Amino acid sequence: MRRMILVCAAAIGTMASAAGGAQPVIGTRVVMLGTGTPRPDPEHSGPATAIVVHGVSYLVDMGPGIVRRAEQARRRGIDGLAPEKLTTAFVTHLHSDHTVGYPDLIFTTWVQGRHAPLRVYGPAGLESMTKYIMLAWQADIDIRTKGLEHRNGDAIVEAHDVKPGVIYKDDNTTVTAFQTAHGEWPQTFGYKFATPDRTIVISGDTNPSQALVDNCRRCDVLVHEAYLDSYRPADMPNWTEYRSKYHTTTTQLAEIANRAQPKLLVVYHHGAGNDEEYAAAIQRGYRGKVVIARDLDVY
């Protein structure tokens, strides 16, 4: 099935190339900009997903490599992921692997021609994080705004700490944040994107969440993290206790999918183990459509 999805994505890219430009506007697509974990795996950038609706992009999480992966997707025909068009983002939680690409998203897109502020929405602490990022790069901002570049200092970033509920709405999508459970973090979110043609739910990092099931309920695409039940990192002797509070096992994800019944389950941000192991582990308990995502996959 994964092969079929990738073939379809490749076919779309081929049609775009034949037309000599960007892909045609074809409704809602999910683009996996980063599917990795904190491990520095060059094949899997840090967690980042784009929902592209009628050529407009909405990002979820900002792992390392996000802007360069977005540019790779643009070169494959998804014009809405050009750097200057990256203007709206949502953060599931403030762990470093989900946010170290934040300065890159702020400043690279600004320097590369973004004229509107980057609007970012997320849990409590996002506004404070943004304040200190701006202070850390203050010298750069001063040179670029007051020096020969004459860049617009009002077009850099606007951060918003939000609460569960509808947090964003425009002509393309309504975004609902719902509380998840990720260990000691007091506030972490999953997000539901309701667009004219699809409903997409992204879990972020979480242990099993009733709120996620309630928000998915036969959604078109559920993007969810997972770890093999047998996974045991050598450097973390209390991993089982940690995982029970922070993450979801493949067995638990199968149970979630059985209850939520997404049309497509996309697994990303998973622990050690190959794609076939993860697919087989989930499919032992769930008979719906499952794909193990890789960077730049499109659904």
Tokens of 261: 């019944």
Q: How far is CA 69 from the centre of its chain?
A: 12
**Distance (Å, whole) CA 211 – CA 232:** 28
Per-residue pLDDT of the chain (299 residues; tens, 9 = 90+): 443 333 344 333 333 333 344 545 579 999 999 999 999 999 999 999 999 999 999 999 999 999 999 999 999 999 999 999 999 999 999 999 999 999 999 999 999 999 999 999 999 999 999 999 999 999 999 999 999 999 999 999 999 999 999 999 999 999 999 999 999 999 999 999 999 999 999 999 999 999 999 999 999 999 999 999 988 887 888 888 888 889 999 999 999 999 999 999 999 999 888 999 999 999 999 999 999 999 999 99
Question: At the topology level of CATH, where does 2-292 sit?
Answer: Metallo-beta-lactamase; Chain A (3.60.15)
Structure-derived torsion over alpha carbons of residues 78, 82, 85, 86, reported in degrees to the nearest 10: 90
**Distance (Å, whole) CA 147 – CA 149:** 6
Query: Would you say how long the chain is, in residues?
Result: 299
Residue 298, burial from CB neighbour count under 10 angstroms (0-12, 13-18, 19+)? buried
**Distance (Å, whole) CA 183 – CA 118:** 29
Residue 12 — φ and ψ, nearest 5°?
Answer: -60, -45
Whole-model pTM? 0.91
**Distance (Å, whole) CA 294 – CA 299:** 11
Residue with tokens 């973004």: 114
Closest CA to 227 of 292, 278, 287, 182: 278
**Distance (Å, whole) CA 93 – CA 97:** 10
